[in-house]
Amino acid sequence: MRTTTRVHTPAERVKARRAGEIRARTVLVQLLCIVSVLRTILTRIVPLAGCSSWWIALLCLLPGAAVYGLLRFAMRITHTGTLTDCLRRCVGGVGGWCVSLLLGVLLLIDGTASMTALITMFTEGVGTQGTQMTLALLTSAVLLTCLHREGLARGAYLLRHVMLGAALLAAAFSVRDVHPDGLFPLMGEGVPAIRAALAAGVSLAWPVVLLLTLPADLPEKRVRLAAAVAAACIAVPLALTLTIPHELLIREHELAGSMLLPTLFALPAVRTLLQCLLMLALFLAVGGAVQMATDQICAPMGQPPRWLPYAVLALLTASQALDIRSLWQMLGRAEPWLLLPLAVLAGMCILIALFRREKA
């Protein structure tokens, strides 16, 4: 409750307004990070690792954190505020365009995965009648109304308390079913399964890199956001393992079943609440991915053309024309590699920046 603000100049007023917009955008990025991380944990790591998924998720965060750290270091030594600026300084305009395109492609893949998860939840989890494609069309039609430049970020910012409240409410109802032995055995299915889970989740934390595309005015915000993402991706698998034993966790290998795992034994009202929460989060994440992908792809051009977000959304919708199981398998093969180009980029940046510094 700030009551001592004193804003003097129009420039300061504009800065204060911009801070509000940046907050909204960071919440959207945060939501996208959390949804992406939780989706990967639920659908890739938990079916393999079972009760050891919580610490495997922690380990899988490390590569992403390392890449984030390297990129941050590169930005510091090049004295730039955002990732795109850093690449531009290191490699020129082409570099900036490349990183924007790369992030756009990664976001498209993530958006496709979120949309697939959302549609599958509808068709198989909830049991809605209707084909995959018609439900995808319907979801896209609703999303079309949301693809306003600032509306989605502001909407996510407004709904953040609602989503957090719903999650806490659901957690409160699940507390009575907690059994500490759910965390054991610590190694779960053993070393081969752990290896497979680590391989599946190695790029778990790639969305954290998106935080580096935000303006650098608020560096402490990035740390807080990253911490929130890490907390969410530990808390959920931990809560799962404490309430559902390992033998049941590794049984769910289908996409819908994995996504709806947190709702398995919940009370009917809590289950409906959790399903709504998951759907809302996935819906906003798909919209966020589309919007951010558009912004990244058009970053060198400045303002993206009006038709581009709709074209990107159409592409995502068209992906649902593929058989859902094959689509999910394809995504499963692609997801572990998402961090690699970013790691290469980070290495390249650091080397170029250090070389230039030495030369200077």
Q: Is 142 in the site for another protein (CB under 8 A)?
A: yes
User: Which class for 94: exposed (0-12), middle (13-18), buried (19 or more C-beta within 10 A)?
Assistant: exposed
Q: Write the binding mask 171 to 200 for another protein: x where contact by CB under 8 A, - elsewhere.
A: ------x-xxx--xxxxxxxx---------
Is there a contact between 208 and 65 (Cβ–Cβ < 8 Å)? yes
CB of 46 to another protein, least distance (A): 15
Residues in region 20-59 near another protein by CB under 8 A: 20-21, 23-24, 50
**Angle formed by the axes of helices 132-144 and 268-297, to 10°?**
70
Of the pair 94, 158, the CB lying nearest another protein is at 158
CB of 50 to another protein, least distance (A): 8
Using the contact rule CB under 8 A, the part of the chain among 6-14, 82-90, 224-232, 349-357 near another protein is 6-14
Residue in 57, 54, 58 with CA at minimum distance from that of residue 242? 54
CB of 166 to another protein, least distance (A): 10
Using the contact rule CB under 8 A, the part of the chain among 92-100, 277-285, 292-300, 321-329 near another protein is 277-285
CB of 157 to another protein, least distance (A): 4
For another protein, the binding residue among 276, 311, 318, 321 (CB under 8 A) is 276
Q: Is 76 in the site for another protein (CB under 8 A)?
A: no
For another protein, the binding residue among 164, 168, 172, 267 (CB under 8 A) is 267
Residues in region 202-261 near another protein by CB under 8 A: 243-248
CB of 338 to another protein, least distance (A): 27
For another protein, the binding residue among 81, 151, 300, 332 (CB under 8 A) is 151
For another protein, the binding residue among 58, 77, 138, 169 (CB under 8 A) is 138
Using the contact rule CB under 8 A, the part of the chain among 67-75, 95-103, 142-150, 295-303 near another protein is 142-150
Residue in 324, 253, 279 with CA at minimum distance from that of residue 43? 253
Q: Is 128 in the site for another protein (CB under 8 A)?
A: yes
Q: Is 269 in the site for another protein (CB under 8 A)?
A: yes
Q: Is 11 in the site for another protein (CB under 8 A)?
A: no
